[in-house]
Structure 1
Amino acid sequence: MAAQTPYPPRCTRSDRARSSDLRSERRKSVRITCPHCDERAMTRTSKRPSPVFYEVYAQCCNPACGWGGKLLVEFATTTSPSRLPNHNINIPVEPDSRRVLLEQLAPHR
């Protein structure tokens, strides 16, 4: 029987040789944790049924837990408008951001 380590094993990738750009990009991504054991969960696949909605399938990295499930990710509000808006997309502007935007557009007195 293998010796037990005090910490659960982490998810690893076989291709450890990554450029520094990819490493910094990965650090900026959202970290998903397991709802049961609070360890890291890895995205396995995702679907994008609409431009503002994703279905993400994730798996807990803790082999003692083993949870897997689906996360629903939605673009809920706009905090800063796009400079290249798609007029087919309607994501409501957050109330505080809307107030600031309207103040910026108002004529100065």
Structure 2
Amino acid sequence: MTSIHLHRPKRSYAARVPGITCPHCDTRAIARDSVQADPLTRVIRFVCDNPECGHVFIAQLAIYRTLRPSAKPNPAIVLPLGQWRGKPANDDETPPANDDTPPAGEATTAPS
């Protein structure tokens, strides 16, 4: 009697799970399962891959900004439109408040 084994076809792509490390031992953590908390948030249970550590923790994956609007938008979902990487908060040309150097072109003359 022969047995028939049904095999799943192998994936032609790598699983796309966000990489995260254990906050305690800095070893790779493996996503074990997840649940959809709401349309914009997924809660993921991770297990540290280091058996000496054994940490199990929860992380959230959240959608918080749109880079390119959807061709089929859901009217119930409102996300701000933004860039891939936001401009740093300190990336401006404003001189520091304690800078006593006059701006270029505003040379002061000493009173005579």
Place the TM-score, normalised by the shorter chain, in its bin. 0.5 to 0.7
SS at match of 1:25: coil
- Name whichever structure is richer in helix by fraction: 1
Structure 1 partner of 2:14: 25
Query: 1:15-65: per-residue Cα shift (whole Å, max 9, x none)?
Result: xx97251xx231x43112111222111112211121001111111011011
Structure 1 partner of 2:24: 36
Runs of at least 4 residues of structure 1 off by over 3 A? none
Q: Structure 2: which 5+ runs fail to align?
A: 1-7, 85-112
Flag the structure with more relative contact order, 1 or 2, with Cα contacts below 8 A and sequence separation at least 6.
Answer: 1
Structure 2 partner of 1:71: 59
Aligned length: 77
Alignment TM-score, normalising by the size of structure 2: 0.59
- 1:1-109 correspondence runs (5 A): 19-21=10-12, 24-26=13-15, 28-94=16-82, 96=83
Root-mean-square deviation (CA, aligned residues, Å) is 2.0
Q: 1:49 to 1:64 in 2, by over 3 A?
A: same
- Do 2:22 and 2:28's aligned partners in 1 also have CA atoms closer than 8 Å? yes
Q: 1:20 to 1:60 in 2, by over 3 A?
A: same
Alignment TM-score, normalising by the size of structure 1: 0.61
